[in-house]
Structure 1
């Protein structure tokens, strides 16, 4: 079977299924596993798909963004692991920025009972932070309906009044060449400013975000470390060369 024909079969499979396994493609094409791996690498380089462990998955749309309620039901165990580890990095006396999003929301359950100050642009974060007794500042701006994030020029100007020891961030995509990305340019700007104002910045993301590219760049990979639940060393070597990645499994 010709290369182009195999590629067409692979892409047709991804139209019907979000994720496909190498052995499925081998069965469909009667090609060797090594040949299919080369095909997937080429198609990933051409930005037709994203390689995952044991196969490939469909790339998300550049502007696609789930709502808070939709995100809340996804990868719950992984988010808890990531949030628990991230919370363990906070020290007494820290001033932290907590980005809007469900991965950063999971961190709040594990925040230590210390003398810390929390600044957030996440409207959904505020009640839980206050229930736990933390001094909390909510940045100004417009409320984004889908993510419940404060965004826009008001949020950016509000942020500039603060400085942070640590910033805990969320992203929709992590890519060696295109950096950390998110669908909304206004939300990306808020994230970028928060990182610039922090001594340390950490992205809390499950492994599904690796290889994804959203519409708006936040920062380059080397501007922040990553806390995640899994890593494919074969595929993510380029990212590992540029920043620290902490994998939390249990």
Structure 2
């Protein structure tokens, strides 16, 4: 396979998953580790990716925020595993909060068998799908953010203060050993912080592409919740020792 062909395949996988792993590329491209490393270095020099431990990720900025369609097409299998693990934590008769986002939306197909659960959400698409499986749902009111289909604004924060949750499940854009849990939009960050303060147990859902990433607005410190991730590399996970608990999706 020609160098250009290999590098195009690497970029295609990055576009789909947001991150690529060195060992996976060796198998997919049927070439040596040194060849893949050289390709990754060349692509990084061209500004097309960022090399990380064991692979590479897409180039992002502090304010980067893909829309719902773009998010829903990335790392689908990883999000599904995380979602299934997350739903396993829910008990009957609990009140839970589902944050707007594709990671939490992936939980809904696994929730159909839950009994007497009440869900509060700021995700329009989530509320509709929850209604389809007959789960009692409260959709908070406020301004609709077109890109993420999330309800945002000061009214949401004030409404949240009147509720209490057994568990919160929250998608997050960045998980970093120094900067904690972050997201690009300060308005969404304010809602996330308000929700976390009203909950008994907090879960952050983050596929491997979100680890060691940083976005503009801080949501919480690492010790404020449990991380559910599809990352299996213990070298990577060991750098997040401040997190209360890390659950690896099966």
Judge same fold: TM > 0.5, yes or no.
yes
State the distance in 2 between where 1:79 and 1:20 align: 17
**Partner residue in 2 for 1:162:** 163
**Partner residue in 1 for 2:69:** 69
Alpha carbons 1:227, 1:247 under 8 Å: kept: yes
Q: What CA deviation, in whole Å up to 9, does each residue of 1:134-166 have, x standing for no partner?
A: 111011111111101111101101111110000
Alpha carbons 1:59, 1:212 under 8 Å: kept: no
More displaced 10-residue stretch of structure 1: 78-87 or 19-28: 19-28
**Partner residue in 1 for 2:207:** 206
**Partner residue in 2 for 1:121:** 122
Once the two structures are TM-superposed, the CA of residue 26 in structure 1 deviates from its matched residue by: 5.9
Alpha carbons 2:144, 2:152 under 8 Å: kept: yes
Q: What CA deviation, in whole Å up to 9, does each residue of 1:66-111 have, x standing for no partner?
A: 1111111111111111111111111111000000000000111111
**Partner residue in 2 for 1:4:** none
Alpha carbons 2:223, 2:242 under 8 Å: kept: no
More displaced 10-residue stretch of structure 1: 17-26 or 61-70: 17-26
- Alignment root-mean-square deviation, CA: 2.5
Aligned residue runs from structure 1 range 42-121, under 5 A: 49=50, 51-53=52-54, 55-111=55-111, 112-121=113-122
Aligned residue runs from structure 1 range 4-15, under 5 A: none
Q: Tell me the secondary structure at the aligned position of residue 180 of structure 1.
A: strand
1:184 aligns with 2:185: yes
Once the two structures are TM-superposed, the CA of residue 242 in structure 1 deviates from its matched residue by: 3.1
State the distance in 2 between where 1:159 and 1:166 align: 14
Residue segments in structure 2 that go unaligned for 5+ positions in a row? 1-6, 15-19, 23-32, 42-48
Residue segments in structure 1 that go unaligned for 5+ positions in a row? 1-12, 29-35, 37-47
**Partner residue in 2 for 1:237:** 238
State the distance in 1 between where 2:166 and 2:21 align: 42
Once the two structures are TM-superposed, the CA of residue 58 in structure 1 deviates from its matched residue by: 4.5
Aligned residue runs from structure 1 range 1-40, under 5 A: 23-24=34-35, 27=38
State the distance in 2 between where 1:117 and 1:190 align: 19
Q: Tell me the secondary structure at the aligned position of residue 199 of structure 1.
A: strand
State the distance in 2 between where 1:78 and 1:104 align: 12
1:144 aligns with 2:145: yes
**Partner residue in 1 for 2:44:** none
Residue 157 and residue 79 in structure 1: after superposition, are their counterparts in 2 closer, same or farther (change >3 A)? same
Alpha carbons 2:227, 2:243 under 8 Å: kept: no
More displaced 10-residue stretch of structure 1: 166-175 or 18-27: 18-27
For normalisation by structure 1, the TM-score amounts to 0.80
**Partner residue in 2 for 1:31:** none
For normalisation by structure 2, the TM-score amounts to 0.80
State the distance in 2 between where 1:126 and 1:52 align: 38
Q: Tell me the secondary structure at the aligned position of residue 109 of structure 1.
A: helix
